[in-house]
């Protein structure tokens, strides 16, 4: 009997020890995973520092336009022939649309043309896609531009500075109105999200915006327009209505405002991060989990 009790106690202790060991291993595995994530973030920060410095140096050089054209065309990758090292960088222009923040220029006499332009495009787009309450959407847009959005407890920075932030406005509009047509609009093809002071990078306008602004057929523009071309020349060659064209707004000079996404390999996984380059400033770093 005593042997049976002793055996039972021994088995109970062993079971408890095994359970403890199992828990310990689970904690060790979690710690290992956490360590791997931390290491990948550190590696990402190293790439971020190196790439942003290199990008800044390249965009200050005489071949800056060629560098931008190459980055906009397709992601550029560096990979070892025999090894695990892999990094790719792809960038998109940020000022290639009508900046939504120009709604904040209503009382700015010097920038009245910008305000009139954003109103014109917003009205045309919301009408084309038949939004049910464009005035409500505009109300939410103005609130974010002025930094007085009452739907958030935190005081936000003035301005709509990313498509992600704008999408939050669209979601708020949908919740309030139930108008799902707002998600049918390709907003990123028409609008940019940089700031009131921005001009338009005319060399990289979307076909949608060119067709809308200058009374051209969309399918024609999609076939004939090549990003990187001189917009004014393209419009003249195709007898476009240039009433809204203003070379003080549609800049043909090099605008160094871009959003870049970097992918890299680490411990057999792929990670990504992104940042914006705005006139020699690098900001809005965002790290993503493994892909």
Q: Are residues 207 and 273 in the same domain?
A: no
- Predicted confidence band at 218 (pLDDT cuts at 50, 70, 90)? very high
Structure tokens at 153: 């407890």
Beta-bridged to residue 89, according to DSSP, are 76, 262
Kindly state whether residues 130 and 80 are assigned to the same domain: no
H or E segment to which residue 89 belongs = strand 86-93
Q: Residues 232-251: pLDDT tens digits?
A: 999 999 999 999 999 999 99
The answer to whether residue 20 is domain-embedded is no
Give Cα separations from 42 to 85, 100, 239, 271 (angstroms). 16, 35, 54, 12
Report the domain count for the chain: 2
Q: Does residue 123 sit in the same domain as residue 161?
A: yes
Residues 84-128: tens digit of each pLDDT: 778 888 899 999 999 999 999 999 999 999 999 999 999 999 999
User: Same structural domain for residues 115 and 245?
Assistant: yes
Averaging pLDDT over each range in 21-30, 49-58, 139-148, 155-164, which range is the top one?
139-148
Question: Are residue 220 and residue 127 in the same domain, yes or no?
Answer: yes
Question: Is pLDDT above 80 for 43?
Answer: no
Mean pLDDT of the chain: 84
Q: What is the mean pLDDT of residues 138-158?
A: 76
**Whole-prediction pTM:** 0.80
* Structural domain range at position 205: 98-251
pLDDT at 15 over 70: no
């Amino acid at each position: 009997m005593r042997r049976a009790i002793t055996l039972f106690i021994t088995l109970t202790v062993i079971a408890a020890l095994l359970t403890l060991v199992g828990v310990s291993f689970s904690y060790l595995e979690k710690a290992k995973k956490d360590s791997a994530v931390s290491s990948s973030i550190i590696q990402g920060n190293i790439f971020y520092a190196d790439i942003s410095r290199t990008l800044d140096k390249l965009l200050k050089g005489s071949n800056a336009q060629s560098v931008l054209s190459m980055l906009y065309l397709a992601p550029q990758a560096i990979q070892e022939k025999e090894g695990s090292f892999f990094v790719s960088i792809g960038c998109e222009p940020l000022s290639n649309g009508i900046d939504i923040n120009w709604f904040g220029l209503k009382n700015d006499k010097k920038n009245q043309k910008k305000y009139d332009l954003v109103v014109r495009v917003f009205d045309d787009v919301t009408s084309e896609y038949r939004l049910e309450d464009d005035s409500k959407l505009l109300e939410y847009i103005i609130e974010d531009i002025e930094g007085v959005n009452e739907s958030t407890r935190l005081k936000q920075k003035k301005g709509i500075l990313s498509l992600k932030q704008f999408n939050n406005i669209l979601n708020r509009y949908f919740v309030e109105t139930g108008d799902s047509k707002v998600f049918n609009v390709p907003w990123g093809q028409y609008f940019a999200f940089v700031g009131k002071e921005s001009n338009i990078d005319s060399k990289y306008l979307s076909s949608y915006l060119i067709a809308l602004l200058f009374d051209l057929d969309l399918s024609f523009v999609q076939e004939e327009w090549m990003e990187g071309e001189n917009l004014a020349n393209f419009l003249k060659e195709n007898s476009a209505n240039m009433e809204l064209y203003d070379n003080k707004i549609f800049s043909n000079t090099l605008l160094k405002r871009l959003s870049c996404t970097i992918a890299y390999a680490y411990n057999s996984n792929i990670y990504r991060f992104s940042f914006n380059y705005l006139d020699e400033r690098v900001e809005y770093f965002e790290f993503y989990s493994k892909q």
